Amino acid sequence: MCAKYTFYKNPPNRETGETGSLYAKVVSGGKVTTDNLADEIADICSFSSADVKGVIRALSDRLAFHLKYGETVDLDGIGNFSVTLKTPKDITSPKQIRAESISFNNVVYRSSPQLKHQLRAMPLERAVLPKRKEQAEEVRLQRILTKLETNHLISSSDCMCFNQCSRYQALKDLKKLHELGKLLRLGRGKQKYYVLAENWQKGMRKEGEINEE
């Protein structure tokens, strides 16, 4: 997978009248939620998705706590967080302002050198606009069920290919079918596969019949 980009044009130069230059901008590939991250992290470690979400909530709480008291929070491999303040306009002397007039403005994030280094090899691909309309959910889910009639086992990567969607969307679709009782999940981590619940149950019944004989 590659990050998609497209070109935008800067406004014309007012003084010279020259045409504005082009600049590249990433086209959003979708929104990644806490649930998405928790599921992905759970796939590659021994923690459950609920455990991961609990840690993320605790991290958010501790981050706010330390920022509230003027500390900078530095997370290895991610970056550091600090706060900026709002100050009334036209102030030229500290005597003109009271502490009550100063307030929180925003959280500033500065990425770590490690994260920047990882993104230097960012794969890019020119986006084709206008963006194609996303397939309806019922179409994607039905295609998964249809593929399983012949493939027996599929992974999230398989779904990404035949539904032409992101990994996050593929995991979301598989999770929904699993919760509806349509699919069973086998394995863990990168070796996680999905099967039709009905076919799996039939296979278990047949195996039981053979053992009884």
Looking at the predicted structure, is the pLDDT value of residue 120 above 50?
Answer: yes
The pLDDT of residue 165 is 79
Higher pLDDT, 198 or 93: 198
* Main-chain phi, psi angles of 130, to 5 degrees: -70, 150
Residue 101 sits in the same domain as residue 39: yes
The answer to whether 183 touches 197, Cβ cutoff 8 Å, is yes
The answer to whether 159 touches 144, Cβ cutoff 8 Å, is yes
The pLDDT of residue 130 is 52
In a domain? residue 84? yes
* Residues 127, 70: Cα–Cα separation, whole Å: 42
Mean pLDDT in residue range 117-134: 77
In a domain? residue 107? yes
Is the peptide bond prior to 130 cis by the omega test (within 30 degrees of 0)? yes
Residue 47 sits in the same domain as residue 117: yes
Q: Which pLDDT tens digit goes with each residue over 42-98?
A: 999 999 999 999 999 999 999 999 999 999 999 999 999 999 988 877 777 777 776
In a domain? residue 7? no
- Structural domain including 175 reads 137-210
The pLDDT of residue 189 is 65
By the 10 Å C-beta count (0-12 exposed, 13-18 middle, 19+ buried), 46 is classed as exposed
Neighbours of 176 (CB within 10 A): 15
Residue holding tokens 């598989």? 174
Provide the pLDDT confidence category of residue 209 given band limits of 50, 70 and 90.
Answer: very low
Report the candidate in 208, 152, 161 with the shortest Cα–Cα distance to residue 183: 152
Angle at 77 between CA 71 and CA 79, to 5 degrees: 35
CATH code at position 106: 4.10.520.10
Q: Which pLDDT tens digit goes with each residue over 154-165?
A: 888 888 878 877
Provide the pLDDT confidence category of residue 132 given band limits of 50, 70 and 90.
Answer: very low
The pLDDT of residue 204 is 47
Residue 49 sits in the same domain as residue 113: yes
Provide the pLDDT confidence category of residue 211 given band limits of 50, 70 and 90.
Answer: very low
| Whether the predicted model's global pTM rises above the 0.75 cut | no
CATH code at position 164: 1.10.10.10
Mean pLDDT in residue range 109-125: 93
Residue 80 sits in the same domain as residue 143: no
The pLDDT of residue 129 is 61
The pLDDT of residue 213 is 40
Provide the pLDDT confidence category of residue 119 given band limits of 50, 70 and 90.
Answer: very high
In a domain? residue 97? yes
Residue 113 sits in the same domain as residue 45: yes
| Helix-, strand-, coil-residue percentages of the chain, each rounded to 5 | 45, 20, 35
Looking at the predicted structure, is the pLDDT value of residue 207 above 80?
Answer: no
What is the count of structural domains for the chain? 2
